[in-house]
Amino acid sequence: MTSPRTTTTPTTRNRAPAARPLVLIAHGTRAPGAEPLLPLVADDVARLLPGAEVRHGYVEFSSPSAADALSGTVDPVVVPFFLGGGYHVEHDLPRLVSAHGTGTVTRHLGPEPDLVSGVVERLTEQLVSEGADWQDVDALVLAAAGTRRTSGVAEAREAARHVEMMTGVRTSAAFLSAAEPSVRAAVHALHQEGAEVVALATYLLAEGHFSRALHGAGAELVAPPIGHHHSLADVVVRRYLEQVEPPRETS
């Protein structure tokens, strides 16, 4: 099977980190027995930054809390473990850091090409598991959580453009909530246009309510979320280094 072309950037491994602690903060979930993705990624990040203290916490529902993760740290670099911006990233995390007294909140994770390559890799794996090939796919829908913020919608569409460049397959963005088109409507429209095999590239971090809903959207193939993929730790480290390393002078 021929794999799609992917985009990579120089690795962040073996870089000498600064001493500022790194705190990864995710949303949290009510789902019992959900896969603990955040601590797995935090462990990966700690291996990539052996000189930095790496902690993790959650905005709500899960433990440890974001406040507990920040407790005792001095001037932490707080990396939002979110694919897109939103209320938690733009309001809750800055408020938490302000209450803590020191620290910097970085950009969220998406839509980095490295991370999108993880989305494509999961879809490739799903194709292989079902005995299919990229030549069997007529169209792709990048399925994102959704947001009312125009910047978040624009980021999902940018991620869809990356997927299309990496795979060579027509790709459009659609949403599970708040924004249009819905994933179901996007799949239906592609079928109406003549596409026989529509695949969903899942632009979600982990399994949950949204990922389960995708299986009822009418697509012929549904990829799993990114999950525990090396691109997540690589992007987190990049966000950290953007804060602790001075910008390079250009001539």
Task: Examine the pLDDT at 5 and tell me if it is beyond 60.
Answer: no
- The pLDDT score that the predictor gives to residue 4 is 55
> What's residue 10's pLDDT?
44
Distance CA 78, CA 21 (A): 9
CA distance 221 to 108: 28
> Quick one: CA torsion of 112, 96, 146, 159, rounded to 10 degrees?
0
Q: What is the mean pLDDT of residues 174-192?
A: 97
Average pLDDT over residues 75-86: 94
pLDDT of amino acid 245: 85
Give the global pTM.
0.89
Whether residue 15 is predicted with pLDDT greater than 90 in this model: the reply is: no
Q: What is the mean pLDDT of residues 62-75?
A: 96
| pLDDT category of residue 7 using cuts at 50, 70 and 90 | very low
The phi and psi torsions of 217 (rounded to 5 degrees) equal -90, -5
pLDDT above 70: percentage of residues in the chain: 89
Sheet of 104-105: strands edge to edge? 54-58, 22-26, 77-80, 104-105
- Which residue shows structure tokens 């953007």? 242
Distance CA(201)–CA(167), nearest Å, equals 11
CA distance 122 to 116: 10
* Range name among 26-35, 203-212, 221-230 with the lowest pLDDT average: 26-35
- Which pLDDT tens digit goes with each residue over 102-126? 999 999 999 999 999 999 999 999 9
Residue 58's CB is within 10 A of a number of other CB atoms, namely: 20
